[in-house]
Amino acid sequence: MIGRHKHCLGLADYSREEILEVLDLAVSMKEVLRRPIKKVPSLRGKSVVNLFFEASTRTRSSFEVAAKILSADALNWTASASSVTKGETLIDTVKNLEAMRPDLIVIRHQAGGAPALVAQRVGCSVISAGDGAHEHPSQGLLDVFTLREKLGGLEGRTVAIVGDITHSRVARSDLYGLARLGARTRVCGPPTMIPPGIEALGTTVHHDLREAVAGVDAVIMLRIQHERIGDPLIPGTREYSRFWGLNARKAAEWLTPACLIMHPGPINRGVELEPDVADGPRSVILDQVENGVAVRMALLFLLAGGHEAAIEAKS
């Protein structure tokens, strides 16, 4: 394994070579995913705990399916059905689950840094499935995988990320991943949703959607988080949708014919994306979901499949 990592906590820690290792392996994993019998024995006898403190459809099922195709056993744990409701702390929860000897813990948490804290306190490998507004590394990897697959490469390409950049862990992981693979990026949204200093990640800031998407190879539309609507960041969804949402008319007038539309899901139809775009010919949103399983298979294989001593020695 090229990677020195025992954990996957964010793409900020991953070099270009380490990202490419995951993407290349994911190509082979996607072939397995498309077989009539979708099962290989490589992680037989390994167990993966999916620890989700936040709601999730795609990420959680994706990690579960990935583990099962590789023959690992997946245990799905949900905060709302656990002793967290009785007041058990995060560390107590993971120490107890660790005592059941999992090989890997996949964790999503509302607090940025929670997976890193868990990684310090347990012996097994930890994958972040999204923490607060920090990072969502597997989403970043599946986004660059999808772009590389559709565009044939990322060197010299330009990608616009549109929405609430401040609160988006997806945006941060995408910005790291795209920069490592040589793509240029633009971020776009209302001024209240662009964090100061984001240019340090190698991106340019735009507030005008038309200007931001002009000539780009792909647009990643972010979900406007309902919990933030109505607070002072944006006056309302109608205004947001008028200025920063994408519909078929804007797409036809402003985007190049080959420009791809991506979205990490779940979509707020009619807010950031109109159905005519989300379900239109440019949309690769469901390819992202399929590729997500392949990328997560690659991550699980790299972190749970290798020789533990060898990985520990490098970490």
Partner 1 sequence: MQDLDVDGLVARLAGEVGARARAEGAESALAIVGIRRGGVHLAGRLRSRLKELLGREPPLGTLDIALYRDDLDEKGATPVVGPTDVRFSVDGKTILLVDDVLYTGRTVRAALDELVDFGRPRRVWLLVLVERDGRELPIAADFVGRRLTVAPQDDVQVRLREAGMPADAVVVTRRSP
Residues at the site binding partner 1, with contacts judged by CB under 8 A:
1, 25, 27-29, 31-32, 35-37, 39-42, 70, 301-302, 305-308, 310
CB of residue 103 vs partner 1: minimum separation in angstroms? 10
Query: Which residues lie across from 301 on neighbouring strands?
Result: none
Nearest to 109 by CA among 86, 88, 83, 79: 79
CB of residue 67 vs partner 1: minimum separation in angstroms? 14
CB of residue 273 vs partner 1: minimum separation in angstroms? 34
CB of residue 39 vs partner 1: minimum separation in angstroms? 7
Report the residue number, 17 or 308, with the smaller CB distance to partner 1. 308
- Please tell me whether the peptide bond between 137 and the residue prior to it is cis, using omega within 30 degrees of 0: no
Tokens in use for 40? 């290989």
Sheet harboring 218-221: ordered strands across?
A: 203-206, 184-188, 158-162, 218-221, 260-262
CA pair distance 76, 105, nearest whole angstrom: 10
CB of residue 311 vs partner 1: minimum separation in angstroms? 9
Work out whether the CA dihedral 302, 307, 312, 315 comes out positive or negative: negative
Report the residue number, 248 or 310, with the smaller CB distance to partner 1. 310
CA pair distance 61, 73, nearest whole angstrom: 13
Report the residue number, 28 or 247, with the smaller CB distance to partner 1. 28
CA pair distance 224, 239, nearest whole angstrom: 12
Report the residue number, 27 or 205, with the smaller CB distance to partner 1. 27
Report the residue number, 67 or 262, with the smaller CB distance to partner 1. 67
